[in-house]
Amino acid sequence: MTEKQEILNIGIDLGTSRSAISASNGRRDWVESFVGWPKDFVARKVLGKAILFGQEALENRLSLDIYRPLERGVIKDGSERSAAAVKELIRHLIETAKGDNGYTQTRAIVGVPAESFKVNKLAIINLVSDFADTIMVVSEPFSVAYGLNALTNAMVIDIGAGTMDFCIMRGTMPAEADQRTILTAGDHIDAHLDTLLRERYPAADFTLNMVRRFKEQHSFVGQPPAPVIVELPVAGKPTAHDITMEMRRACESILPAMVETTLELIAGFDPEFQKQVRNNIILAGGGSQIRGLREHLEGVLKEYGPCAVQTTADPLFGGADGALAMAVDMPEEYWEKR
Ligand SMILES: Nc1ncnc2c1ncn2[C@@H]1O[C@H](COP(=O)(O)OP(=O)(O)OP(=O)(O)O)[C@@H](O)[C@H]1O
Ligand SMILES: [Mg+2]
């Protein structure tokens, strides 16, 4: 158990598929962004809980009203239930980070997909305000950049589930023009792979969740590192299926928009510094783990001059750690007072 402190600083990465927290007391945790309420009193009795999160919610989804509240980066369809789900998710993370310790003040920085930042910033501040004394909402790629100290002449590409968020850093807080969001990210690959597999193997039985797991195990672009063989049931019998080419096509489907947006943002940067940005590109988020992605982007950008693309060491906690570092550094006057 960590010592009691006066102020608890918290960094949260509120993601479409996964949400993570890092706190100044050393606690870290993450949960898949699913929230479920028991459907009726029977379900409640069976489950023994009023609310379930993450993997546990997913496993019990038949007895739950289940939400993945941040689809495509914004609070899904603006519904009250989705907002309540976001709120419960934040409560769950903050309570886990606080543990039994008492703090006189809690300061939280929440990194959200760039699109939520535009649309839902105030809504998110309101949702967090019950659990923290002071709050700031920042865009996700900015918190990643902050955590890596890539604050000037750098570009972060955060490849999440709902969105791919770009942020170019000029040594100041990024403005809206320095950021872009596109919708071709992890969920898009899953949907595409699902379609391709249904076309090729109509007799096989599988769900979108299974497709996502296959992707997380075997994703690649370019030359296949090895054939991708997975087991899918056919009339109840587990059967090996080769999905190498479908995997490649689905993963490569995010490349054109990714390359185009990267080039566009660099072209809009001060020409004297474009070379430095090209040498300081950082891939973050779960999608950055796609094999061959870094090399592909470097290959394309090389045509414009020397370049270097790197991948963050910690795609799961990079955003939360960056938001925490920012919370620790942030001068008093920047915080939203309530
Ligand atoms: N090894 C992998 N290869 C390819 N994709 C992966 C891998 N591991 C995770 N992913 C994908 O990364 C995405 C999740 O990444 P991340 O946790 O950064 O997203 P998020 O923050 O929840 O989403 P968003 O930023 O859009 O709100 C999912 O689509 C997941 O399937
Ligand atoms: Mg994210």
120-136 exposure pattern, b = at least 16 Cβ within 10 A, e = fewer = bbebbbebbeebbbbbb
Per-residue pLDDT reduced to its tens digit, 95-131: 999 988 888 889 999 998 776 666 777 888 888 888 8
- Digit-coded pLDDT (tens) for 39-63: 999 999 999 999 999 999 989 989 9
Whether 7-146+317-334 and 186-252 share one fold: the answer is: yes
Tell me what pLDDT residue 78 has: 62
Q: Would the pLDDT of 190 be above 60?
A: yes
The pLDDT value recorded for residue 72 is 63
**Which ligand ends up closest to the CA of 186?**
1
Question: pLDDT tens-digit profile of 194-230?
Answer: 999 999 999 999 999 899 999 999 999 999 999 999 9
Which tens digits make up the pLDDT trace of 275-309? 999 999 999 999 999 999 999 999 999 998 899 99
| pLDDT > 70? residue 1 | no
Share of the chain above pLDDT 70, in %: 94
pLDDT > 60? residue 253: yes
Q: How far apart are CA 285 and CA 322, in angstroms?
A: 13
Query: Confidence band (pLDDT; 50, 70, 90) for 335?
Result: confident
Residues with CB under 6 A from ligand 1: 15-18, 70, 73, 113, 140, 158, 160-163, 185-187, 212, 215-216, 219, 285-287, 289-290, 315
User: Tell me, what's the pLDDT at 332?
Assistant: 82
Band the pLDDT of 80: cuts 50, 70, 90: confident
Q: What pLDDT, on the 0 to 100 scale, is given for residue 16?
A: 87
pTM check: above 0.85: yes
Judged by its nearest atom, the ligand closest to the C-alpha of residue 187 is 1
What is the pLDDT at residue 336?
A: 65
Tell me yes or no: is domain 186-252 CATH 3.20.20.210: no
Superfamily, domain 7-146+317-334: ATPase, nucleotide binding domain (3.30.420.40)
Query: What is the rounded average pLDDT for all residues in the chain?
Result: 91
Ligand 1 mutation target, pool 13, 18, 144, most atoms within 8 A of CB: 18
Question: Where in the chain are the domains?
Answer: 7-146+317-334, 186-252
